[in-house]
Structure 1
């Protein structure tokens, strides 16, 4: 809420009016699938840039925090070890290694993490776990290992293309949300310039029809094809398409729908030849987020938020001229 009502006198009347105001602002129709807006709990959690610690010459997260003011990170990726068992990149243990040490250091510096499950490459838990109950158990191992407040399911490639697996993910998330009070969930997936494609629409509809109170439906608005250059404008266009689909599926009002959507851009050169996301585009995205108070404003990835040196590859630099963390310093301004 941007501005509270000011009743004539303080005390219990003020408290009652504030409670009524919040109720009116955030309650949606009785026929909707979810009763209240549940955006991510803190602005830092809403930004939480991706960093992948297993490759791409990762920077020390606490150094990134000191340089940019960012407090949260989205750490990627949890994959299957070949069975229905989660590991970092499918190979590194959840506890006892460098990944856990980095999380402890982030928290000691006043920050926290979202853990991301999935991604494009590797063996996916959604496929290796044969049931929603088993998949929920795998997710729970990750949640319990770190006492997570938020979990991101980056659903792509073969996991995304299989309708049975998509439903399995939905049902597993319902279970872990029921078993972990206050846990925030993000579902991240690809997009067209007009918003979710037919698979994305199906995923959102499955969530709504299944009663999943997902906190943020997050698109990756890049790799559009054709060497797109107006990426800020195309991103806001895609976000409006996402907002319309989430609003329709869940029966939300406009403000609630915006609170339940997010974007995860890609800084610099994308996977699509000729397509560039520039700092100016990030400023356009920031302005959109500030206008509509969206639930998530992030990008792929901290590892790439620096200029390329000799021999550098696309996992460790942006491919455009920039200073370190130029992109993150834009998104770090977002306060929800």
Structure 2
């Protein structure tokens, strides 16, 4: 059954309100059929203090040769480490990329040592669960208690206060997994002594979020998860981007479209947020340089344009894929016209995208 009406428009001219702070009212928990996602059926959610806007690139921690993020990301306020997925042999056990258990990650990737270096430099890490490869834990593991234990193990081991759930492909389409994840995330927030900032990272097109992505957000709000925001993967548009439209223009259109949808979703959850408040619950994540879709390229000028848009709108988060790629290609990297894990495919100084996108954000 259809969820709330998700008009694509925005209310950019609405008078700004103060952030919603300290709300505690909650109705009964209601999950299951999306027919429950009406204004009357959704509980009041997402009422915690608003986070400070932040900037931080993703790192593909398991790509080889391994990336020294402890050194390369020093000075960034946050670094997003991807991806924790289910162990292929033990679906309720967390692993990095399906390759390394947590102990193996310390031995091989120097995970804790690199995190310590970042923190000593004044930064911190975000752990991203899911991604395009492997199975997210709530998809692979059908026991909610064991999913909870797996998430808890990762958060406790790395002392994490901000988490990112990159839900795409098969994970995105799995309704039971999305319900299970939402219920477990509420339990995880309730059991922790300090607030846990949770972001849902979802694919987007210039016309906005598709129905599967809308359902993921709606289910989290229905479960009463205090959702910090929705991070839009502004990349790889393929046929959804009109011919001739620039990547920057497509990304800004996608953000505006999603803004209208998210306004409706939080409104259906009992929160009539101002345009400013909804922008604060949106993140943007471009893929720098050559994208996976042929012909789609985010150059430095486009990154600067998108960064300025993010600052002007007051988004709560700006990330990018990935730190590993923020350098020019060498002969060993292969054809620069094809996307790879190790370079942008553009003539640039190493670190240029980090500098351009991070301008004006904390860190």
Interval of TM-score (by shorter of Structure 1 and Structure 2): 0.7 to 0.9
SS in 1 for 2:153: helix
Q: TM-score, normalised by structure 2?
A: 0.79
**Cα offset, 1:191, TM superposition:** 1.0
Aligned match of 2:51: 40
Q: Which moved more, 1:80-89 or 1:300-309?
A: 80-89
1:4 alignment counterpart = none
Question: Is 1:204 aligned to 2:223, yes or no?
Answer: no
Q: Which residue of 2 aligns with 1:141?
A: 153
Structure 1 residues not aligned, in runs of 5+: 1-23
| Match 1:317 to one of 343, 360, 363 | 343
C-alpha root-mean-square deviation of aligned residues, in Å? 2.3
Partner of 2:231: 218
The CA deviation at 1:63 is: 3.0
Match of 2:255 among 224, 235, 239: 239
**1:50-129 correspondence to structure 2 within 5 Å:** 50-65=58-73, 69-82=75-88, 83-95=91-103, 96-97=106-107, 98-129=110-141
Name the one with the larger helix percent: 1
- CA distance in 1: counterparts of 2:291 and 2:317, whole angstroms: 20
- Once the two structures are TM-superposed, the CA of residue 92 in structure 1 deviates from its matched residue by 1.7
Cross-structure match for 2:337: none
**How many positions carry a matched residue from both structures?**
309
Q: Could you tell me the TM-score, scaled by structure 1's length?
A: 0.85
CA–CA separation in structure 2 for the residues paired with 1:56 and 1:260? 34
Q: Does 1:26 align with 2:4?
A: no
Equivalent residues in 2 for 1:244-259, closer than 5 Å: 244-251=260-267, 252-259=273-280
What secondary structure does 1:240 align onto? helix
Further displaced range: 31-40 or 229-238: 31-40
Decide whether aligned partners of structure 1 residues 36 and 128 sit closer, same or farther in structure 2, where only a CA change above 3 A counts: closer
Deviations 1:102-153 (A, max 9, x none): 1112112221100111111123312221033332221111101111011111
- Give the secondary structure class of the aligned counterpart of 1:217: strand
Q: How many Å apart are 1:35 and its aligned residue?
A: 6.2
Determine which structure has greater relative contact order: mean sequence separation of CA pairs < 8 Å that are 6+ residues apart, divided by chain length: 2
* CA-CA distance at 1:263 after TM superposition: 1.2
Structure 2 Cα separation of the partners of residues 118 and 149 of structure 1: 17
Candidates 151, 154, 165, aligned match of 2:177: 165
Q: Which runs of 4+ in 1 moved over 3 A?
A: 27-32, 34-41, 56-59, 226-229
